[in-house]
Every structure is written in structure tokens, then in C-alpha cells.
Amino acid sequence: MASGSAAKAVGRGSAVGRAPKWVRRFVGNRAAVAGLIGVLLVLFVSIFAPLLAPHDPAKQYFDGLTLEGFPLPPERPFWFGTDLLGRDLLSRVIYGARISLIVGVAANGVAVLIGLMVGVAAGYFRGVPETVLMRITDVMTAFPALILAIALAAILRPSLWIVALVIALVNWVWIARAVYAQVLSIGRREFVEAAGALGVGTFRTLVKHILPHLVSTLMVFGTLGISTTVLLEASLSFLGVGVQPPTPSWGGIINESQSYFLNAPWLVVFPGVSILITSLSFNLLGEGLRDALDLSERR
Amino acid sequence: MIWYLAQRLLQAVGVMLGVTVITFLLVFLLPADPARMIAGRSATPATVASIRSELGLDRPLPVQYVSYVKGLVTGKMGRSYAQKAEVTRLIRARLLPTVQLALAGIVFELLIGLPAGIMAALKRGTGVDQTVMALAFVGVSAPQFVVGLLLIYFLSYLLPIFPLGGYGTPLHVILPAITVGLAGGGWYARVTRSAMIEVLRQDYVRTARAKGVFPTKVVFKHVLKNAVLPVVALVGLDIGVFMGGIVIVESVFGWPGIGQMIWQAIQLVDIPVIMGGVIVTALFVVVGNLLADIVYPALDPRIRYS
Amino acid sequence: MDTETSNQTGRGSAANPPRAAWLGRTGIGRALAALVVLTFGTALAQQGGSAVVSFQDDVSTLDPAIGYDWQNWSIIKSIFDGLMDYVPGTTELVPHLAESYTVSDDGLTYTFALRDDVKFHNGRPLVAQDVKYSLERTLDPATQSPGQGFYFTIKGAQEFVDGKADEVSGIEVVDDHTVKFTTTEPDASFLHKLGLNFAHIVPREAVEAADGDFGHQPVGTGGFKLKEWVLGQRIVLERNPDYFEAGLPYLDELTFQVGVDPNVAFLRLQRGEVDILGDGIPSARYTEVMADPTWSKQVAVGEQMQTGYVTINVQMEPFTDVRVRQALNMAINKDRIVRIINNRAVPATQILPPLFESYASDYAGYPYDVAAAKALLADAGYPNGFDTVLYAYNVAPNDRIAQAIQADLAEIGVRAELRTQAQSTVIEAGGAGEAPLLWSGGMAWIADYPDPNNFYWPILACASNIPGGWNWSKYCNEDIEARAAYADTLARTDQHAERVEAWRSIFVDIMGDAPWIPIFHELQVSMHSTNVTGPKEIFVDPMHIPVHYEMVRRAE
């Protein structure tokens, strides 16, 4: 990432100049700062949604639709246009940030964590744990999540946490297999074997020698996965598992309007760009932090 | 290796059994009545009960499961509740198109993702890298339905280059494969890039460079082979997952894949078809992951299986 | 992938009751039908050509005893025939495979004289034995026919189904071209039931040769026969040159392409690759199409025998109080909901659609009056409203309609939690009596045949107030049940007016109990390319939904 004049600007004398090295490296990285701003923006919007939203996201305006029932394009007083029920899209996108954050960051985060543990355990310890874990991974990949979602929707009270659970249950296999592949390769490197010979504890070995090599991959899954998870949440809520109408979520808005894309593109563009900005921001922030803290360089 | 394969084969049986049991349980957990769905709305309770009994749905669950597995062993998957046709026949009709789309999709994922990821890693920190990264995010964030619709609208409708969906010629598979490839390609690009950067940092790579080994050779011999490991993992998973059908793409492009069949079966609670679809998926998941596991030692000879 | 289109529920019919009894006796009916056919077609000159129909869902089966969804219903009608049928584009019942028929004075015996010029697609002529075989096949539990229950009024049917007899005594083959039905009690809708697909005639040898797969190898007497079926892709039908209706069908070949998304189908229509949108106009393009002068000419709009309604579970608190139910009825802004679906429906005041003769045109139903609704609720003891749950089918536009209903209910203080789920689970919840409120859209009632009793027995009768039954409001009024049973015995032509009035007052009185909130009556909308043409009515045929394929012809 380019550092440029920002680095010089924060150089001497300022508060940042006296800050720890990693902060300075971070601030000097334009992309990382952009990411931080993006994340803070999304957080801000989701926390202060009630204050920011110009309208009630659930209010269906009789005049929010044309006489033939078609949504309105972006134009005052609906700055993002209206949706298929005549509701203000801007307000819905603002409120939708909460769902997307919880699902995209938390649920995805849990999936990454589970996948990490499974992949490392299988790839490092080999033998029986490897077989058992990898075969479980096979089963979970073939597992019909759709049916689980429908079953849960009918049995339990729909809630966001069930969605998060289903997402975590389903997505971890990708991280597990990718991590497993990398750990297989790392695990045999000379220094690891040497460390093992020296009697260094397993956990320490894992953290100090294996984990740093995985950080980049984990970063990718943790941030790119936000987009995929947000869209997945929409499908699950559609089946009745997660947030129920009229609670808005970005994926949900896209889901219900995507066939209108050629005629009412604003319905997909605004939430879609929001998803993009969110996951991109987290990625820039994450990579910026990683570079600044020099995580994967640590030996 | 033979011993390893034999072991994996045995384990595959276990995986298949596991998947079928879980799916069976799940399907019956669904508060939905297949007999009621077939009988329709005007049926008398007697008709519904009669249909339920004809389908063997009034037997205890374990009995139904054993009977089903017995059928599987002899190559029979039962008859669809809604269509009354044999499930094996229904699957066979859709198998080839599903394979074609899955393979074409993976090819495009690699075509789009690998070069982009490699380029981004080599030109790390530059504008090229940032552009590729941003594009990857766009690819992943764009809903497949919208991408498909856009592709059809611009490249099939406005400019009649490709057919308006459907199946039959190689030309028909391109747009659907691109739709799949854009999202997956984004993933592949990012994963390749980070894995490459990771390998490029290794001491032994630095050493090779210091020794004056020609850069291209360094890249393509050592770096790529190791960097591509996680991508191989993803391809293995994609094989399995795609063979379960990609409903959205099939639906937009009118591609006669298994995904649409399974989706409709779930709506109708057509249990034999659901089970058949899940079994096909499980089979290819096992195959896909096995292939990936076999490829790892080829890429990194230090990886061995006991 | 369940793109929404203009045909959400599909089937419907118009209201005329069977005056056919008289017509059948004198043979004028058939002449009239032929005349209608001829006036519709400048026939023979327009024969030939092919057409393509697009569908998103795969066709499940073409077995007339089994097929029961709106998609395969009319395809089956093109391949098979029944003793009775309806004049194209209308709901007027006329004899079809039967040349004429007589009904005994006690209304229990129907004697049909079959035409002698009908051949199956395999070449064999139709005989009376085939009629008996087909109906016994539908009644046979092994066939798993959804329509089995319609024919229990035939004498001996119950014994046959129970396995106590190996034939149905009430169906008698008098000779090769005469078949006699005896019913256990007068059944005013019996002739309609013989017009259902479940009573369409199939040849035994073809069924047995297909070995359980007759649904994919249909052989019938209809205007089209099966030429090719590529599973998951297309069904190709070709003209039956031996079809007994002279001049029909017009088309030489009819192709059904499946798996086509409605938005893409629309693009293909514009290119001329698709001639009829089987799923209707995609909702996203609807307003655009109707506003376009060229396109709107290719659209046909028709009424259906359909009502979309919210069921109120009358056995659950607080809905046990009729005032609460009435309050809900007054809380819904039906005009707004109709606007949300692009005016593709007519707001409903009552249970029956306007096309029925028994429709009470002077009955205004419950007005949209939020203040009055709140007052009623307060009266019933809920001045601050209450919490409840509204179930709905998750496929668009039903989730939107449900949200609109939810918003309207909130205005009077009824806070409804919305549960949009897969259809099978919603149906299950409704049948089990777990759903306090249920928006029936997507599963909304369309009459199987154009008789008012079809709007009562399966969905409002005490008899269907059973676990799993389709009477989701769990409504049971014994008094009305008795009146309904009586109305159905009025089978004679001279009792017709009395019957119409009986059903009219029944449904008005049910509205007084308010077990439902009727919201709208959906219109059928279909669009065809400029390559095909025909009378508008056949593109929105109430009985051959969505299109009466035999009447479609190439445009010049």
C-alpha cells in the first residue's frame, strides 16, 4: 500500500508521531485509513439508525408507488427511491446495516474461527483427527442447508441468531479445507520439525509458527465472506429462518427486488453498493492492521 | 497410494451413509406432509391417508430408512412422489448438463481468478493490485441473479451474440459459466494473491532469488505450486457443491441442471427426489475433496499420507 | 428464482351452472359448441404452424389421474378428453366425448351416449369400457389420485376403494357406446366432476405398457399427442390428425419449454423465440407492458374463479369473538393492496368471485373503516389491540401482500408477527390449526369446477374442519352445513334458481360470521407474441388454464 506524504505529515511532533510504531504505519497507509473510515461509517449508521433515517423503514406510503403500483425512482422526499411496497429505501438501507453487520461480521467470523480450528487440527495432527475431521467436512459440505433452514423456520421462532447459526454451520467448510491445505504444506517445514524436536509446546508452535502463515488467507475469508454471508442471509430469511418482514436487511432488499433490476435498478444498486463498501472497508482495515502490526512477518 | 485410495473409498461409504441419515432425519423433521402435498387441497382425509399408505410414509422412520438404503444398494432410488417416475431416470436426464455447467464454471473461475490473483501478488501495492482487489470484491458482492440477467440482457438480447438461455450447444454454456466464474473468480483471485504473497515472503524464496535463479522460474516453479494449494482446496469443494446444482444460474439461463430439480422437490416435499439429489451431491463432494487431496502431494512433495 | 409473474394462482372458471342437462338431451348443445368453434375459427385456412410456450417450473406429470397443478392442467386437457368439457373461453359445460346424455327423474342415473368417431393416439377406437376403466383407475388407491374423493358419490365406489369389490358397480357398460353412472344421492355438480381431468379417459393397454410411468408417456384422445419429451428441457406435442373435433387443433406442433425464468422468457418473446408466456408477464415489466401500445395488444386479461383471502382461526383467542373478526375485516385497505399488485385484481367484498351466478352483487361486505374497526375491538375488550401471528407463503408477491396486511392491522392495534415460509410448511400450519391468521395467496382458492359448492366443502365446511384439512379457519356452522348439503341435492334443472339462491344466502351468512377476510379476486393475465392469435378468451380460458391450446393458431 502506498504511504506517500501522509507519513511525512504525521511524522514529527504530533500526537501520532509519538504513537507506537504500528499506529504510524497504519495511518500512513491511505487504503487502510479509508477502510477504517468505511467501517466506522457502517458502525455509526447501524448504531444511530433511528436518528439518521428520514422515515420509518416500515411505513408503506400509499403515494410511495405509482398508480400502477411501481416503485418510485430516487427523488425527494425519497432520496434512494421507494421499494415495492412504497417504503423509503434510504431508511431501509440505513436500518439494514445492523443486520448485515451482525450477520456478515459475527456469523462469518464464527465460521472462520470454526474452519480455522478444524483445518489446523486436521492438517497439523494428521492421523485419526485428520480423517475424522475431514470426513465430517465432507458430510457438512453435502449437507442440505436449505432443508435445515426450512425445518428450523417452522420449528423455532425466527430470529437473527438462528440465521447466524446456520450460516456458521454451513460456511466453515470452505475455510477448513483451505486452511488444511496450507497447514499440510507448512507443517512439514524444517523449522517446525526442529521446534518440535526442541520440545516446544504444541500450542505455542501452532500460534507462533503456523498461524502467521494463515493470517492472509483468514483475512480474505473473513472480509470477502462478509459479502457472501449477507447475501446468504437473504436466502435464509426468505425461507423464514431469520429476520422477518418488515425488518430490512441489505440482502433481503436485493432478494425481493432483483428481478426488477432492469426497470428499478436503485433497489439493487443501493443495498448492493452498501454491501460492497462494508466488506471492502473491513478488508482494507484488516490488511492495513496486518501490515502495520506485521503479523504474518513475525517468526 | 493404492492403500490410501482404498481407505478413502471405505470412508466415502461412511460419509454417504452419514449424509443420507442426516438428510432423512431433516426431511422428516420438516412439518410438512408429502401425502398432503400430492393429494392437493380438495382431497378427503381418506384419500390423503390412502396416499400416505401407498407411499409407505406411515411406517416407522427406521424402517423407511432401511428400506431406502436397501434400494440404494441395488441401484434404485425410488419413485418421485409428484412425478411417479424413477428418480434415477430424472437424475440421469439432468446429470450431463450439471456436469457441463460445473466444469465450465470452474474453468472460468480459474481463468478469471488465477491470472488476476498472480498479477496482483506480483505487483503488490500498485494500482494494478488495488484494482484487482476491488474488482474481486465487486464480483463476489454482485448477486448472481442480477449478473446473469445483465449478461443475458446485454450479450444475448441487445447484442445477439449468445443465445437467450437454454441448453444445447457450447455457446449456451458460456454466459452461465461466466456468471459462476465472476463470483468464484473473485474468491480465487484473492486467495491466490494472499497465498502467493505469503509464499513470496518465505526465506527459501528469498534465497533462491538471491542466488540469482531467474525470477520467472522462481515464480512458476516454487511459488505457484505452493500458493495454489488453497485454490485446489476451493476447486475440490466447488466440484462437489456445483454438482449439487447452482439453482440461481440454472434458473436464469434455463439450464436443465440438478439444482432446479432439487429446489422444486423441496417445495413439494418430494422426498425421493430430495434424497436422490443429496446423494448425487454427496458423491461429488467426496470425489472433489478426494481429488484435491490427491493433488496436494503432486504440488508439494513433502506432503505425504500415511 | 421464483420470479413473480402475473399468474400467481392460475386456475379459475366462470359462473354458469350446468344448463347442459337440457342441451344434452336434445343434442343442441353439441351443435352450439360446434357453431362456437366455427365462429371462432376461420378455421381450415389457418391450420398449421407451431408455437412455443415457456414455463419456469418443470412439468411434473401428464397423467390425468394425477396431475393437479395449474401448469399441467391444460396441457393434460390438450392430450386427453372427458365425457364433459367447457365451451372454449367460457365456463359453460357441454358434452364432449359424450354425444348426448340423459338424466333420470330421480337424478341418480346418468346415461351417456358416446361418440363413435373417437380414437386414441395409438389408433384404437374409444369404447365405453375405457370410461369405466379410467374412472376406476382414478378411484384405485394404488394410483394415488388427488381427485379420488370427487367420485365417492358413484354407487359402489366406496366398496371398490376399500377392496371389498373389484369393480365399481355404479359404472355400467351398457354397450360399446353407452355407459351408465348411478350415484348414491343427487349430486348437482356430478356433471362438472366428469369434466375434471381426473375423469379424462385413458386406454388400459397404454397405461399398463408404461409400467408406472404413464405420466411421462401419455396416450389419450385429445387434439395433441406427445411427440417428444426431453426431461427438464421441453415437451413437444404434435397435432392429432384423427381428432374428432373437425378443424382442431390449428397448430401442427406445440412445444413447452421448461426451466425458463419469466424475465428471460419475456426477452425471448420479444425475439419471437417464445409465443406464449406460460407464467405470465414478469411483474417487473408489467406496468411497462400495459403502458406500451404495441405490447398491450398482445395481452389478454380475464376474470377467474379465484379469491385471495386471509383465514382467521375462529377457535383461537381472541378470534373466537365475531366482533374481533369483523374488526379485522374493516381494517384492510384492499385498494392499496390491489395497487401493490399492479391492479391485477379486483377488491373482494365476499367469498365468491363475481362470475358466479350466486355472487351477491348487492352485498357490500365490510367497508374499510379504521375508526369503526378500533371501536369494535374496544367493544370486544381489546382497546389496545393484541399480538398475533400472520403466516404467508414466501414467494413474491405474497410476502409483500402479507406485509401490507400486517401494516393495515397495525393501524388498529393488532400487532401481527409475520412468518413467511415455504408453502408446504404454511399449509401444514394451517391444516394443524396453528395459524391464527393465514394469507392464502399462492395457495388461494380457485374453483376446481364452476360450481359454488366447490367454494364451501373443502375450505369452509364442518366436514373439512379436521386436522390437516384445508379449512384453515377451522370454521364450522352446523346450520349452514345442513343448508349446503340440502342445496347440493337440488340437481334438477327446474331447481336451478332455488339452488343459486340457496348458495347465495349461504355465503352471505358466512360473511356475517367473518371467518375470512376476502381481499381480492385475481385477474388472469397472459401475453402472447404476434406470431399467434385467437379469440382473447382462449388466452385467459377459465377452465383450460392458462391457455386453451387447441384454439391457438398462427397469425397471418
Distance (Å, rounded) from C-alpha A46 to C-alpha A213? 34
Amino acid (one-letter) located at A29: N
Asked whether the beta carbons of residue B44 and residue C423 sit closer than 8 angstroms, the reply is no
Q: Mean pLDDT throughout A108-133?
A: 92
Helix residue spans in C260-369 (DSSP H): 262-271, 283-291, 293-296, 322-331, 334-340
What gap in Å lies between CA C550 and CA C556, rounded to an integer? 18
Residue among B22, B237, B300 whose CB faces A143 most closely = B22
CA diameter of chain A: 78
List helix spans (H) across chain B: 2-29, 34-39, 45-54, 61-73, 87-122, 127-141, 144-152, 170-200, 203-210, 215-217, 224-227, 229-243, 247-253, 258-268, 271-299
Task: Look up residue B183 and give its three cell numbers.
Answer: 463470483
When pLDDT is averaged across residues C348-353 and rounded to a whole number, the result is: 95
Asked if B151 and B179 count as a contact pair (C-beta separation under 8 A), the reply is: yes
Using alpha carbons, list the distances in angstroms from residue C440 to C130, C393, C401: 38, 8, 10
Please determine, for residue B200, whether its predicted confidence score (pLDDT) is greater than 80: no
Q: Among A235-249, C31-45, C448-462, C515-529, where is mean pLDDT lowest? A: C31-45
Confidence band (pLDDT; 50, 70, 90) for C22?
very low
B186: pLDDT strictly greater than 70: yes
Is the pLDDT confidence value at A295 over 80? no
pTM of the model: 0.89
Integer Cα distance of B70 and C388 in angstroms: 47
Q: Count contacts between A and B (CB, < 8 Å).
A: 164
pLDDT band at C178 (very low <50, low <70, confident <90, very high): very high
pLDDT of residue C432: 93
**Chain A residues whose beta carbon lies within 8 Å of the beta carbon of residue C284:** 259-264
User: What is the pLDDT averaged over residues B167-193?
Assistant: 94
pLDDT value at C1 more than 60: no
CB-CB contact of A90 with A75 (8 Å): no
Q: What is the pLDDT of residue A207?
A: 75
Cβ–Cβ under 8 Å, residues A82 and A72: yes
- Of residues A181, A118, A141, the one with CA closest to residue B294: A181
* CA distances, C488 to each of A201, B46, C296, C482, C509 (Å): 86, 21, 42, 10, 17
Contact present, A152 and A162 (Cβ < 8 Å): yes
pLDDT for res C37: 58
pLDDT tens digits, one per residue of A50-77: 999 999 999 999 889 998 889 999 998 8
Q: What is the pLDDT of residue C26?
A: 45
Q: Do B31 and C429 touch (CB under 8 A)?
A: yes
C-alpha cell at C22: 337440457
Any idea what the Cα angle at residue C159 is, between residues C208 and C63, rounded to 5°? 30
The more confidently predicted of residues B304 and C19 is: B304
Q: Do B254 and C429 touch (CB under 8 A)?
A: no
Mean pLDDT comparison of B34-43, C11-20, C137-146, highest-scoring range: C137-146
- State which amino acid sits at residue C339: R
Residue-wise pLDDT tens digits, B210-268? 776 656 666 667 778 888 889 999 999 999 999 988 999 999 999 999 999 999 999 89
Mean pLDDT of chain C: 90
pLDDT for residue A180 is more than 90? yes
Mean pLDDT of C442-470: 90
The grid coordinates listed for C204 are 388400459
> Binning pLDDT at 50, 70 and 90, where does residue C24 land?
very low
Q: Which amino acid is present at C453?
A: N
Binding partners of C (≥3 Cβ pairs within 8 A): A, B
Nearest-5° Cα angle at A12, A7 to A15? 90
Round to whole Å and give the CA distance between C121 and C409. Answer: 56
Please tell me the predicted confidence (pLDDT) of residue C14.
Answer: 31
pLDDT over threshold 90, residue B284:
yes
Contact C468 B253 (CB under 8 A): no
Q: Is B302 in Cβ contact with A141 (below 8 Å)?
A: no
> Does B264 contact A at CB distance below 8 Å?
no
All residues of chain B having their beta carbon less than 8 Å from the beta carbon of residue C213 are 84-86
Rounded distance between C-alpha atoms, residue C197 and residue C363, angstroms: 34
Position A299 scores a pLDDT of 35
B87: its cell numbers: 428418480
Give the separation between CA A2 and CA C52, rounded to whole angstroms. Answer: 59
Contact A245 C418 (CB under 8 A): yes
CA distance C87 to C90: 6
CA dist C341 and C344 (Å) reads 6
Residue C23 has pLDDT above 50, yes or no: no
> Cβ–Cβ of C340/A69 closer than 8 Å?
yes
Chain B contact present for C387, CB below 8 A: no
ipTM value of the model? 0.90
Asked whether the predicted pLDDT for residue C41 surpasses 90, the reply is no
Instruction: Tell which residue, A61, A52, A101, has the closest CA to residue A81.
Output: A61
Tell me how far apart the alpha carbons of residues C339 and B33 are, in angstroms, rounded to a whole number: 35
The DSSP code sequence of B173-194 is HHHHHHHHHHHHHHHHHHHHHH
First to last CA, chain A: 22
- Name every chain B residue with its beta carbon within 8 A of the beta carbon of A276: 137-138, 141
Mean pLDDT within B64-90: 92
Task: Determine the pLDDT at residue C297.
Answer: 93
**Nearest CA-CA partner of C82 in C68, C69, C70, C93:** C93
Q: What is the CA radius of gyration of chain A?
A: 23
Average pLDDT, chain B: 89
Residue of B nearest to C394 (CA): B267
**Is C448 in contact with B266 (Cβ distance < 8 A)?**
no
Chain B neighbours, 3+ Cβ pairs < 8 A: A, C
What is the per-residue pLDDT across A240-266, written as a single tens digit (0 to 9) for each? 778 888 899 998 999 889 889 989 999
The residue behind cell 461466466 is: B178
Tell me how many residue pairs between chain B and chain C have CB atoms under 8 A apart: 159
Grid cell at residue C433? 390449526
What would the grid cell of residue A270 be?
Answer: 443501493
* DSSP for residue C511: H
Confidence of residue C34 (pLDDT cuts 50, 70, 90): low
Q: Are C427 and B37 in contact (CB under 8 A)?
A: yes
Subunit contact A296:B201, Cβ cutoff 8 A: yes
User: Using one digit for the tens of pLDDT, what is the confidence trace for C58-71?
Assistant: 999 999 999 998 89
In the predicted structure, residue A11 carries a pLDDT above the cut 50: no
State the pLDDT at residue B28.
86
Residue C38: is its pLDDT beyond 50? yes
Looking at residues A1-17, what average pLDDT do you find? 48
Whether the predicted pLDDT of B133 surpasses 50: yes
Q: B77-110: buried (b, 16+ CB within 10 Å) or exposed (e) per residue? A: bbbbbbbbbbbbebbebbeebbbbbbbbbbebbb
The stretch C378-382 carries a mean pLDDT of: 94
Of A210, A31, C107, A217, give the one whose Cα is nearest residue B192: A217
Residues of C in contact with B48 (CB under 8 A): 468
For B25, the grid coordinates are 432425519
pLDDT in tens, C303-316: 999 999 999 999 99
For the ranges A272-281, C23-32, C129-138, C230-239, the lowest mean pLDDT is seen at C23-32
Helix axes C398-411, C322-331, angle to 10 degrees: 110
Question: What's the confidence (pLDDT) of residue C429?
Answer: 93
Q: Which of A3-7, B280-284, C493-497 is predicted least confidently?
A: A3-7
Residues of C within 8 A of B253 (CB-CB) are 261, 264
Q: Which residues contact B228 (CB under 8 A, 6 or more apart)?
A: B114, B192, B195, B299
Q: Residue A129, preceding bond cis, omega within 30 degrees?
A: no
Selected for mutation to probe chain A from C399, C405, C418, C434 (highest A CB count within 10 Å) is C399
Instruction: Please answer yes or no on whether A246 and C407 come within 8 Å at the CB atom.
Output: yes
Reported in sequence order, the residue ranges of C77-129 that DSSP labels E, i.e. its strands, are: 84-86, 93-95, 98-103, 109-114
Backbone angles phi, psi at C166, to 5 degrees: -105, 15
Distance, CA of C291 to CA of A67 (rounded, Å): 12
Contacts of residues B152-160 at CB distance under 8 Å and 24 or more positions apart, as own/partner, are: B152/B252, B152/B253, B152/C264, B152/C267, B153/A262, B153/C267, B156/C267, B157/C267, B157/C270, B157/C271, B160/C271
For residue B96, pLDDT beyond 90: yes
Question: Who among B37, B51, B156 is closest to C424 (CB)?
Answer: B37
C-alpha distances in Å from residue A64, one per residue of A8, A80, A88, C288, C485: 52, 12, 8, 18, 48
Judge whether residue C184 has pLDDT over 90: yes
Largest Cα–Cα distance in chain B?
Answer: 85
Residue B205 pLDDT grade (very low, low, confident, very high; cuts 50, 70, 90): low
Q: Which of B22, B137, B249, B291 is the best residue to mutate to test the A interface, defined by the most A CB atoms within 10 Å of its own CB?
A: B137
Residue B228 CA to its chain's centroid (Å) = 19
Q: Please state, in angstroms and rounded to a whole number, the distance separating the CA atoms of residues A212 and A182.
A: 12
Q: Which of residues 47-86 of A touch C (CB under 8 A)?
A: 58-60, 62, 65-70, 84-86
Residue spans of alpha helices (H) in C305-382: 322-331, 334-340, 370-379
Q: Which three cell numbers stand for residue A151?
A: 425445518
8 Å CB contact between C408 and C439: no
Q: What is the pLDDT of residue B218?
A: 62
Q: How many residues are given for chain C?
A: 556
Q: Does B191 touch chain A (CB under 8 A)?
A: yes
For position A151, what pLDDT does the model report? Answer: 83
User: Hey, is the C-beta of C498 within 8 angstroms of any chain B C-beta?
Assistant: no
Cβ separation of B195 and A272 shorter than 8 Å?
no
CA atoms within 13 A on the CB side of C386: 17
Predicted local distance difference test score (pLDDT) of residue C511? 96
Contacts of B33 in chain C (CB under 8 A): 424, 427-428, 431, 468
